[in-house]
Structure 1
Amino acid sequence: MKIVLCSINSKYIHSSLGVWYLFAAAKKINTPHTVTVVESTINNQVEDIVAMVNREKPDVVGFSTYIWNVEYVRKVAATLKLINPNLKIWLGGPEASFDADSLLKNNYVDWVVKGEGESAFMQMLSDNFTTPAKTVVTGPCCEYINPYTPEYLAALNGRIVYLETSRGCPFSCGFCLSGRDENVRFFDMEESKKNILLLANSGTKTVKFVDRTFNCNDKRAREIFEFIAGEREKGNIPQDVVFHCEVETDLFTQSTLDYMKTLPKGLFQFEAGLQSFNVETLKAVNRRTDMPKLVHNLKEIVSGGNIHLHIDLIAGLPYEDFNSFSASFNQAYDINANVIQLGFLKLLKGSTLEKEKKKYNYRSRDYAPYQVVSCDSISYNDLLELKKCEDAVERLLNSGKFPFTVPYLIKTTGLSAFDFFYKFGSFIFDSGIKSPSLEKYASLLYDYFTNHYNADKSALRDVMVKDRIIIDNTGRLFGFTHVPDTNFKIITTALRQQTVNVFENQSEKAAKGKIGFAILYATNRVILADYTDQDPVTGIYNYKLIDLHQFLPVE
């Protein structure tokens, strides 16, 4: 028989881990059946995905289902069944596990695999797929099967790779599925270390640990940190490979926090879920977090300056109204993380909140990703208002394009962080401008705050110029900040001839256009950036501020 395992990913840069676990499971039992993996994305047309799968002439097709692809899977599976009514189709993954009975009602679905798929798939292969139709096959926990086969590595093509060193989660948050009926199982440390080296040298730039709480065992997390740092120092891990972990920061010991400050800059990215600062909200979603310790530890991580930090908030949780959420946001902003993801609650099938939806009067879409549109605590209109704030947060903060402009405007206007993003996001929305370019967006920012908050035009122009020079390696200013000045030629000559020495190998860099500069007129200084020296955490190029008179000839 010919079996196709199909994964429809959210982006091309992503790779699928689930289908490759199953592929490796088939190899482990030396199945006589032919098993092939087909990967595509939700950006492809349904007909293109159908053609890719049908080209393999399969007898059986298995799909990995998630909230981002289940609607595509439904369409692809239904079409494949129309083309070949004898084709057997089964669905696995989170969406199948917690919505099995509903999915089986579709005439194009023969089986649903619930839970872990490796053991179930091996049994189905051994039984030659004779499992009675319309059956839910429960996959028990199984011993670790290494998914990183030669076929997996050959299919990567530099995409993001995913690595599991543990399975399960010690927590049972009401909005999540990760901790449902699972104990944490840690995989063999030595095999995990071998996989780290294998994947780091696969051509990828990012290795993402998919452990649900990477540091639930502080000692184990520390051992992995030390291993990665040590192997990188030995030259066994490429300098440009980054490791991404989801962490619960209140679980870190002070010893580990101190150690993490010694890690190479940019080697690790942390994603830390805050969700809310509202005590009643956290209790309602069974979020057992020591918030003072969590905030302290997050600030400790930020103070090291060597780890890119991403923190999450969720709008729509129980007891979190608009004002409460704004307070949570302000507290999150004060942590000074690199990214604040402002997410909106989705009532995942099988989650505690989905089961308690009547308790909180939740109204949510009945199709994936099941986003909440209102509840007792927050109205649909208020959620729409938060969407305006989210857009501004993404463009101004998370993009990393305005590292000095944002704090400057918050300080000089006296606005809270939330009000700053919300008011400007509302202005953009109300203006009706759709998807403005970066330059247009920056000019709107300048106009809004100079017109509505009397921001100092010269000072704001300078701070925006500073951000542009230290972030964008073209050295090109936004048109609205450009000031023609004959001193530009004088400064360029000084840099090339090194009459003013600012950077190492300055003359050579200047000749190759690797030094950007601009004049800051409010302070009579020159901002200079070395485009060969970029901070891997912030994306900011090494820069210097020099008094303008140092570049000018003495009169």
Structure 2
Amino acid sequence: MRITLVSLHPAPSPQAIPLANAFLKGFAAETGAEIRLEDFFVGDDALACAHNLAERQPAAIGFSLYVWNRAACLAIAAEVRRRMPRVLLFAGGPEVTADPHGVLDGSSLDLVIVGEGEKPFATLCTRLAGNAPLEGIPGILLPGAATPFTPAAPLADLDVIPSPYLEGFLDYGRYPGILWQLSRGCGFTCDFCFDSRGQHGVRRFSLERIESELRHFAKGGVSQVFVLDSTFNQDLKRAKAILRLIKRIAPGIHFHFEVRSEFIDRELANLFSQITCSLQIGLQSADSHVLRGVGRSFRPDDFVARISLLNESGATFGFDLIYGLPGDTLAGFRRSLDFALALYPNHLDIFPLAVLPGTPLAERSAAIGLNHLPQPPYTLLSSPTISAGDMTVARRLATACDIFYTRGKAVAWFNEAVKALKTSPSDFLNLFSQWLLTVQDAQISESDLDDQTVWQLQRDFLGSAFGKPGLKRLLPVVLDLVDYHYHYAAALLTPPEQPPGRNKDKGRLLHIPLRLAGSVRLVEFRYEILEILDAGVPDIRRLADTLVPVGSFAAIYPGRDGVCTESLAEPYFRLLERLNGTDPAGRIAADLELEADEATHFLLFALTEGIVLRS
């Protein structure tokens, strides 16, 4: 018996992994069903997807439904039904669990799986194989069934689910990253979130299984892992044990964690800093009263102190913010932006409130005047404290932050630029938002822009912002900072073409063609860039008052221990610029009137560092 499980991802990405369906496949393996995993993407043609699914003539097809793919999945299911009238169509996932009757009504589905899916799906496979009735399976809702719906009990021991990675149900070699589930459930009850609905508490996979999977990832060359654990550090002892395992077993893999600030201590911050990782922290709002209204507590002083531990350790972190929470205003959202950005997050992820079905917030939304979309993505349109116009302004502020701060990698200099203009972060972003409307489409998003375009937008806007009398003298320092961090980030993300090493051709260097390595950035600055970097926190007004604009030339490149910045004399810089992989290096050096010994010595250094390569 053939069954196809469909995952419809938002877009190709390191997180587009069919992990949930792989869990189902593994748990149902002993039923004898031939289960195939199929990946599609939102935006794929429904007719083409249905044709693909129908080709293998499966007996049943299941869809994983989320808020962002519900409509697309149901459209594919309708087309499959037209082609295969007798196939069993079903769905599960968070969107089904939140709104089972809404998903079933008017759809082409025969049934839905509500809640945790492994046990209901395995029973479904067994019943289908034996041509047995499907009524009465706990966790499965059938329209018009005579037997009342019974929820399925969640698995007490998660280790009974075979590991998709260890058992080979998922070939992570096909994907640029992987999802790694460490737990299920949530220990908190935020009114806007569905994670803890239906049951309370957290169930966790064993440390023994985690260690085995970790060794498997390291051996297989996995590059990045997105950890699925609503609050990775709630069990502090366990979190520290896992971080020590990562440091020992998989130090070369990049990990993404979701953490809560209140469980961060100095030791945990230091452990995060000792591995390659980024942290996501759900701030949501900096207004204690607003957060209390949705079941969260918040102490600003404690939050600042905990985040300071991360900054002191050098750990990379970002925040989530939501605009439109009950009781919040546009002014309140702007204050939250100011609070968040003052703490130097690496990035901000900003979302409009979504009033998700099945949550306490959805249950009282009408009573408190939340006007929201009735269908996915359930976005708030307005409320008694934030108008539709305010929501539009907040959206544009969020876009401005996405583009200028997060995509623009501005963390190291943003607050200092704001301070130099004697304004606030939210006022600065508001100005950028208004300026952006004059040069880009009103519906622009950061995903529409490449890094170079974002960098140019930053430079153009800063030229405008610092163009007033009394500010113009600050602009060269600001642009040096913007340019340096843009090229630094580019070098960081570009692996060396070949490892640096010793050179044995010292006597022939001037006679052979050389070329600049593709990972090297050659940049001209207005000031001596090393003096700016040595100053620490870039106080722009002080730098403009004390530094002399002598100009400098630098090579920025990935080295053995991270990104290196080498300040160069101009003749050496021009030599690197002109190396073309065709002409002998000595001929180019002679044109620049460089002495042979000087050129040889410099090129030997550049080869050893991986700045230049043999053609």
Length-normalised TM-score, structure 1: 0.84
1:50-90 Cα deviation digits (max 9, x unpaired): 12211221111111100111111110111111111111111
What RMSD over aligned residues (CA atoms) do the two structures have, in Å? 2.9
- Post-superposition offset of 1:8: 0.6
Alignment-derived partner of residue 157 in structure 1? 174
Asked if structure 2 preserves the Cα contact closer than 8 Å seen for 1:316 and 1:378, the reply is yes
State the match for 2:544 in structure 1: none
Q: Secondary structure at the match of 2:118?
A: helix
Which secondary structure state, in structure 1, belongs to the residue aligned with residue 179 of structure 2?
A: strand
Offset of residue 440 of structure 1: 4.7
Letter in 1 for 2:261: T
Q: Which residue of 2 aligns with 1:216?
A: 234
Between 1:142-151 and 1:178-187, the stretch displaced more is 142-151
Tell me if the contact between 2:179 and 2:228 (Cα under 8 Å) persists in the aligned partners: yes
Distance in 2, Cα, partners of 1:5 & 1:270: 31
* Partner SS for 2:282: strand
Q: Deviations over 1:75-132 (max 9, x none)?
A: 0111111111111111100110111112222251111111100011111112226314
CA contact (8 A) 1:469 1:518 kept: no
**How is 1:261-276 mapped onto 2 (pairs within 5 angstroms)?**
261=273, 263-264=274-275, 267-276=276-285
The CA deviation string for residues 207-263 of structure 1, in whole angstroms up to 9 with x for no partner, is 11111111110000000001110113xxxx5x2x211111012112344334444x1
| 1:392 positional shift | 1.5
Q: For the residues of structure 2 that align with 1:453 and 1:341, how far apart are their CA atoms?
A: 35
Q: Which residue of 1 aligns with 2:133?
A: 130
Cα pair 1:15 1:159 within 8 Å, conserved? no
Q: In 2, distance between residues paired with 1:406 and 1:65? A: 39
Give the conservation status (yes or no) of the 8 Å contact 1:12–1:40: no
Matched, 1:444 2:460: yes
Find the counterpart in structure 2 of residue 518 from structure 1: 524
Correspondence list, 1:76-95, <5 A: 76-95=76-95
- 1:485 aligned partner: none
Q: Counterpart of 1:138 in 2: which secondary structure?
A: coil
CA distance in 2, matches of 1:186, 1:451: 56
Give me the whole-angstrom Cα distance separating, in 2, the residues matched to 1:81 and 1:155.
32
**Could you tell me how far 1:461 is from its partner in structure 2?**
3.8
Task: Give CA deviations for 1:148-173 in whole Å, capped at 9, x if unaligned.
Answer: 15443336513321112221111000
Aligned letter for 1:69?
N
Q: Which residue of 295, 301, 320 corresponds with 2:310?
A: 301
Q: Are 1:313 and 2:313 matched, yes or no?
A: no
Cross-structure match for 1:140: 153
For 1:191, the equivalent position in structure 2 comes to: 209
**Whole-Å Cα distance in 1 between the matches of residues 366 and 223 of structure 2?**
44
In structure 2, the CA distance between the partners of 1:441 and 1:153, relative to structure 1 (3 Å rule), is: same
Distance change >3 Å, CA 472–CA 254, structure 1 → 2: closer
1:282-325 residue CA offsets vs partner (Å, 9 max, x unmatched): 111101344432221112112211x3211111001011101111
CA contact (8 A) 2:192 2:354 kept: yes
Which ranges in structure 1 are unaligned for 5 or more consecutive residues? 475-507
Using a 3 Å threshold, how does the CA distance of structure 1 residues 162 and 231 change in structure 2: closer, same or farther? same
Matched residue count: 505
Q: In structure 1, how many angstroms separate the alpha carbons of the residues matched to 2:412 and 2:262?
A: 29
* Shift in CA distance, 441/5, structure 1 to aligned 2, threshold 3 Å: same
Alignment partner of 1:467 is 2:485: yes
The runs of 5 or more residues in structure 2 that have no matched partner are 136-141, 493-512, 528-547, 575-592, 594-615
Secondary structure of 1:139's counterpart equals: coil
After TM superposition, the structure 1 = structure 2 runs for residues 427-506 of structure 1, keeping only pairs within 5 Å, are 427-433=435-441, 435=444, 437-438=453-454, 440-451=456-467, 455-456=471-472, 457-473=475-491
Residue 194 (structure 1) shift: 0.8
AA of the residue aligned to 1:280: H
Cα distance in structure 2, aligned partners of 1:365 and 1:114:
23
Q: Which residue of 2 aligns with 1:243?
A: 255
| One-letter amino acid of the structure 1 residue matched with residue 415 of structure 2 | P
Q: How does 1:17-36 map to 2 (within 5 A)?
A: 17-27=19-29, 30-36=30-36
How far apart, CA to CA, are the structure 2 residues paired with 1:375 and 1:284? 14
Asked if 1:342 is matched to 2:350, the reply is yes
How far apart are residue 464 of structure 1 and its match?
A: 3.4
Q: What is the alpha-carbon distance in structure 2 between the residues aligned to residue 429 and residue 55 of structure 1?
A: 48
Percent identity over paired residues: 21
The structure-2 alpha-carbon separation of the partners of 1:269 and 1:512, relative to structure 1 and needing over 3 Å to count, comes to closer
The yes-or-no answer on 1:42 pairing with 2:45 is no
* 1:444 maps to amino acid: D
What SS does the corresponding residue of 1:115 show, helix, strand or coil? coil
| Match runs of 1:268-417 below 5 Å | 268-305=277-314, 307-403=315-411, 406-417=414-425
Distance 1:527 1:321 in 2: 48
In structure 2, give the amino acid aligned to 1:331. F
Q: Which has the larger radius of gyration?
A: 2
How far does residue 417 in structure 1 lie from its aligned partner after superposition?
0.6
Distance 2:242 2:342 in 1: 30
> How far apart, CA to CA, are the structure 1 residues paired with 2:234 and 2:396?
35
Distance 1:425 1:525, change over 3 A: same
The answer for the alignment partner of 1:178 in structure 2 is 195
Residues 1:531 and 2:557 are matched in the alignment: yes
1:524–1:470 distance in 2 versus 1, CA, 3 Å: farther
Q: 1:305-363, CA deviations, whole angstroms, 9 ceiling, x for partnerless residues?
A: 1x321111100101110111111111111110100111111011111111110232111
- Closer, same or farther: CA 417–533 of 1 in aligned 2, 3 Å: farther
Per-residue deviation, 1:402: 3.8
Change (3 A) 1:255 1:472: closer
